[in-house]
Structure 1
């Protein structure tokens, strides 16, 4: 098993990496979601409508995968309060990303420090261009000071190709732990908000 418990057991050798992370980059679709909370069914439906209009019906969010607003916002606030920058990145185009942000009620400068999309760079994932652009925006010269977390193998590859100090898989989407481990992340979390215990 290669989950959060095992990662906790090796904190003596890895916790210092968290202290050195200045830029926290999170994938949007599939990563910032929470299992089993149907309270946000309407939000899920709204997001699905946005994705369908963008021709991304294959990326539809399952109804049991709904946004955990309070916990996610608390995580972002905790990170920013410690002087860290929170960035969301996605392979979606500008229109789709903007509509998703509007649906969530999130905006750059409030919940997050920045948002980087595939339209902003020449090459999308798994190339490092999106994260590299982010490091330039926040004057982070050392990629070891960057954390990348995502729910798919291509997210993990993006982080590793950038040379991020920490690359995490998140089990909030369709890919299971066994599949994510094949991409050799530093750890696999059940959900993104588990990061709170390492901040």
Structure 2
């Protein structure tokens, strides 16, 4: 087993069960521009990314649109109000066993930081709906607003390391439900990269990024660290 000092965990689909509401909202604002894309296409090309970038990448990969920059900017402008409306009606919870697993890691002296392609407002809203507090339930939250470069760049992991005063990336575990989470962990030089099957992508899809482990859930992290 690795000498893990910090676990950096993705939010939606990894620790937080929000029924894919964010990606369903991405799907809606894109399709409102005259497209007919499936949720599977949105997840395949947008999962784990800062949402403006996700919209750009989905349009680039799944449509023959020529003015992608303009369409994406307009769709993203609609994204935040649409998401706020969706969240007002949403029952957010953590996946079974996740809170207990996080508590267990922290009791063993392992820092737990959540990171996300969401902006700070959205991520903080999610934490509030869960009733989780920084310093009480987790050690930190890093969002796309906190860094210059979003996933798969390693900036958010480095920010989490700085927050927790962890200097060696080999003592860091990164877990997430999408290949971009795994790529982020590998670019940061993390000692362990872990895919989980509670969210956006299947085991076959996750295997393409060659994680060290694929688990059913974050609840199983105690088996490997």
> Within the alignment, does 1:125 sit opposite 2:151 as a pair?
yes
Specify the alignment match of 1:95 in structure 2: 121
> Within the alignment, does 1:163 sit opposite 2:146 as a pair?
no
Quote the Cα distance in structure 2 between the aligned partners of 1:112 and 1:136: 16
- Of 173, 177, 187 in structure 1, the residue corresponding to residue 199 of structure 2 is 173
Specify the alignment match of 2:4 in structure 1: 21
- Aligned residues of 2:194 and 2:214 also touching (Cα < 8 A): yes
- Of 144, 151, 160 in structure 2, the residue corresponding to residue 134 of structure 1 is 160
Specify the alignment match of 1:151 in structure 2: 177
Change (3 A) 1:198 1:95: same
Quote the Cα distance in structure 1 between the aligned partners of 2:171 and 2:119: 27
- Relative to the length of structure 1, the TM-score reads 0.75
Quote the Cα distance in structure 2 between the aligned partners of 1:197 and 1:106: 24
Misfit runs of 4+, over 4 Å: none
Quote the Cα distance in structure 2 between the aligned partners of 1:151 and 1:72: 14
In the TM superposition, what whole-angstrom CA distance separates every residue of 1:82-110 from its partner, at most 9, and x where no partner exists? 11100000010111111111111111011
Quote the Cα distance in structure 2 between the aligned partners of 1:83 and 1:66: 25
Report deviation, 1:55: 5.7
Specify the alignment match of 2:99 in structure 1: 73
Quote the Cα distance in structure 1 between the aligned partners of 2:95 and 2:216: 14
Structure (1 or 2) with the larger CA radius of gyration: 2
- Aligned residues of 1:33 and 1:172 also touching (Cα < 8 A): no
Quote the Cα distance in structure 2 between the aligned partners of 1:74 and 1:168: 18
Report deviation, 1:198: 3.4
Give the length in aligned residue pairs. 166
Q: What RMSD over aligned residues (CA atoms) do the two structures have, in Å?
A: 2.6
Specify the alignment match of 2:36 in structure 1: none
Specify the alignment match of 2:30 in structure 1: none
